[in-house]
Every structure is written in structure tokens, then in C-alpha cells.
Structure 1
Amino acid sequence: MADVNHTAFRPGTFLLVGIPGLEKFHLWISLPFFSMYIFALLGNLVLLFTIVREQSLHKPMYLFLSALTLADLLLSTTTVPRMLAIFWFRVRDISLGACLAQVFLVHFIFVAESAILVAMAFDRYVAICNPLRYVTLLTHSVLRRIELAAVVRSFCIIFPMVFLLLRLSYCRNRVIPHSYCEHMGVARLACTSIKVNIVYGLTVALLSVGIDVVFIAVSYGLILRAVFQLPSAGARRKAMSTCGSHLCIILLFYVPAFFSFFTHRFGGHSIPRHVHILLACLYVVVPPMLNPVIYGVNNKQIRETVMSIVLLRRWHKGLCAGYRGGAFPGWALLR
């Protein structure tokens, strides 16, 4: 039987387990995941619509935020629907092509989001430490180049992972103990050596994302130094409020991602597998859910813009009802 299981072949499909060890609780686990996914979709769509619609928000900080919002939408939509299909309908089969596409998208979006967070940290650094040059440094052409560079960098870093997985010969064991396909989870099913995959994954984590973390840390170190030198207490509070929301998002993004990454490679049996997989699943839905809340609550301009859009729609509906009824009850909404 062992010889059969270790016979090398190219699988047509893989089997995703979901959360190993917690299969009997999948239905209950799916309820908060579904709720968080719907909340993430609605929150990010509202935030993206608000930024695109409102001309006054077409500034570097908000344009970077819209890119982060789009990445959050893609990340959660790439993983959560498939996860819910496993939890609800036990649809565990996934084709090799779909699995590799999911591997590419999950890691591509992660590296792209990391680059966006670097850009947002640079934006805050220029706005607080060098405000007189803000408009000249962060022009719309520069923003487009930064966003294009983030996409190209992510593609060049992650695309080789697909070929590293395609070159492997896989065993008869097609079961991936996860809720979605990710690089090392697929690679560990191979019968051949995966040393190249391990080295490349570590290199990507340490030299690309790790450098991003260093740049962000340096930027916010300089920002905090400049903030504490501001003469006005109100200006310090405003700067700290903006930076605080950014730091919350950065921590939500990097801490669970690096925990999952290093646990998968070095955790061994010290951390139960279901804990690791559950945290990896939460990572793809919790930050996308909380990002709109953090920015919507802490950013006065976005909050006021959303409220003005809601009130305008209410007034428009009331005005239309007034025309249909021969009166103008819509004006009452403006009082």
C-alpha cells in the first residue's frame, strides 16, 4: 500500500480537507466565516465606491486605499467561496489548474498588498515629514507608476512558484490538509525533493516582504519622530489618529501572515494543525473585513462622504415619492 501511495504521477485533481480535525464542526465554523465574508464584501465595495465617486477623495492616500480595498476583495473572493463550498456541500475536489491558479492569486495578492502598505507608509511620511513637497512628489503619474511597479513586482516574484509546483512529481496521496491551495501545502504532496520550493518560499518571504516590513518600520519611525516635534497638540492628535489606523492595518496584515508562514515550515507538531489552518483561514477574511471599519470610523472625510451619499439618496427617493404623490415630502429629509 505504501508503494502505491508513493507512486509518482501527475494528478488531475486534489482534495481539500477544510480544517483537519474539525470536520464535524464545519457547518458551525462556516457561519462566522460567511458573515465576515459578506461584511468584507459590503464594506470594501462601499469604501471603493465612495473613493471612486467622490472627486475630493482622489488624493494619493485614498487612491492607495482604493488599491488596498480592491486587493482585499480579490483575496477574500479567491478563497472564501471555495472554503464555504467545502463546509456546506463537501465539494472537496479541485483541479490541478484551479489549484495552481489559487496558489498564484493568494500569494500574488499578498505580495501586492505588502507593496501597497509600503506605498501608504511612504505617503504618510511625505505628508507629515515633508508636507511642502507632497503635491510635487506624489503626482498622479507617480502614483500610476507605483501601482504598476507593485503589480509587476508581485507577478515576477510569484509566477515562478507555479512552475516550481508543475515540475514536481506527485504521490498518490492527493489530500491537501487545508481549506485552500497554497504553495507549501501543495508542494508537500510531492514524491520528489521540494528543497527548491522551500528555499524559494523563504527567499520571497525574507527578501521581498521582509524588506517591505523594514521600509515600513523606518518610515513610521521617522513619522513618529516628526509627530512628537509638532508644536500643536491638535496636529499631533490628527497625525497620530491617521498613523494609528495605518499601523492597525499593518499589524492585521503581517502578524497572522508571518505566523502562518513560519508555522507551516518550522512549527512541526508544536502547534496543532487545525489551529494553524484555522488561523490561515481567518487571515484571508478578517483583515478584509476590518480594513473598511478602521478607515471608515477613523477617517472623518470618508465618514462624512458616506453619510452625504446616504442622505442624498434618501432625499432623492423622498423627492421622487413627492412627485408621484403630488407633494414634496422629500424636502422634509433636508430638515
Structure 2
Amino acid sequence: MLLGEGHDPRGQGVPLLDAGRRSDRGGALGDEKLTYLGQSYGTRLGSVYAEQFPDRVRAMVLDGAFDPTLGTIDRRLAAYAGFQRSFDVMAAACAEQASCPLGTDPKAATKNFQAIMQPLRDKPVPAAGQELDFDGALGGVIAGLYGPSLWPTVVRGLSELKQGRGDALLGLARDIGGGEADEAVNGNVTEALFAINCMDEQRLTPADVAELRTRTFEVAPFMNPGGDITRGARDGCEFWPARPTLTIPYAQSVPGLPRTLVVSITGDPTTPHAGGIKLAEILKSSLLTVKGEGHTVVSAGTNKCVDRIAADYLVDLKLPGTMPTCSA
């Protein structure tokens, strides 16, 4: 098992066309100042840009935010705890159905999940012309925890596992990793993810990895592979040849930064709501809280309340006098 970063490969930062005057001072886009929407990992990109060039920011929306004060271990643990919370919410919804593969008692869901998943360590199951082992199946489940629309696929995948197949969970794992089984089509998503993470995160010692391994299964027991958990997991950046270049904490003092907007979902599994609150506090941003489940919401076309506020801000720099709470 690999204790990975937990970054969403779909996370991004998008520089938008500036509504203001263009000039030759604007770098690659030719804009005088930056208008930016950053989601997931893109919130880190935006925060670091704001820290380095606060006077070049026109507008910045940071959706699904990293807490810039958390070191690598604590940030990963916060994400794992967030996925456990989302698993529990999904399991409670599943338990309302008599056919739920996790049973009808939400309190027993993690134990029942482990009973379904842990045998895959020694006996993978067939899935779409290949085999699905524990790590692959867990990757599919975690991918499905990113949003409630994917929960039925997770439930179906667990039912399939009980019948000796892993097609649905393999499909989920492929979707979040790029969507294709063929490496030539899928591109270099995995390679890019490791390269970016290993330059951004603190390098972990073997003792750090041992601590992370133990604490991971304390905060997220549904992820526990069973057996001897003191062996096997390694840090993915252990042998990366270059030292990290990002200093953590970051974006701690940003004088002169214009008013920015942080958007945070209360039930975000991978960038927990507490991180959005913290980033808004540090950047002195306006905070738009969205009650519900899921990871990132701006521009998805699923929430008129969020999109109206974000659009008014990005286009006209207008924000409500009293920020409402939107519902997912």
C-alpha cells in the first residue's frame, strides 16, 4: 500500500481573461492583473501566486482550499479523516436500503467494509479483463467518495465484490486517474502527480512514514488493509532526486492583496471545510460556505447560488454585503 498525497488530479487553477485594461506588463496572458479560479490543488497555486505577487491580483476565487498552515503529515491525515467522514455519511444513506452491502446498521459499516475489502490483499478479483487488488479497490472507493453522485457506483461496486468481481470500482479508479486503461491515451497523469507533489510537500523520514501509517488507520479505519500494518507502505517521494521547493506554511503574510473569495463545502472529503476557513482567515478573504457533500463546486453548473456569487465577483468585483450560506 502506498501512502499517497490525496491530491485530486482534477484540481486546477484557471487564469481567466481580465475584465480590465490589457498591457504589455501582463506576462503570458497579456493582462495587467490576474483574474483566477483555483480549485483543489489550484487553491495552493493561487495562494502562492498571491503571496509572491499580491499587487498583480485583480480577482481570485479559491474553491476546495488547502490549509496553508498544515505540514504534509497533518494535511494528509486531515484528508483521510475527511474521507472517513464521507464514507460514514455514504454508509448511513446506504443503510436505509435492505440490499445495502454494508448492512443496515451504520455503526457496523466500517467493519463490514473491511470484511469485503481485506480479502483482496491475498485474493484479487477479476475486473474488466484484469485483476483488482485491495489497493485498486480502495482507490476506486475513495474516488467515489468525492461526491454523492458517485456513491451509488461505490455501493454497486461493493455488491460486485461480494459476488467476486471488481468492474465498477476499477472504473471509478480509472475515472479519477484520467479515464483510460491505455497508458498511451491516459497520458502522464500519474507521473505529473508525483512530480508536483514531491516538489511541494515536506520530505518524510522513515519514522515519519511509520507515524503516518499508524495514524492513518486511526483516523480512517475503513482504509485499513488488515494484517501487519507496520510494514509495506512507503512514502512515494522517498527517492525523489530533488528537494522540495515549497515552504510550509505558505501565504502567511500577504499585504496589499485585494479582496478574494474562498468557497468551501462543509462535507468536502479531501480538503475539509476547516482548511477553507483557515485560508480565508489568513488571506482576509470573504468565505462562501456551502452546506452539503462534495469536493469543489464553482462553475460545475450544479449550484446557482454559488455560481451567481462567483460570477458577480469575477466579472464585476461585487460581493454580497452579508455573505449567505449556499446549499449543495
The TM-score range, normalised by the shorter chain, is: under 0.3
Instruction: Please say which structure displays the higher CA radius of gyration.
Output: 1
TM-score w.r.t. length of structure 1? 0.21
Greater RCO (Cα-Cα under 8 Å, separation 6 or more): 1
| Structure that is richer in helix per residue | 1
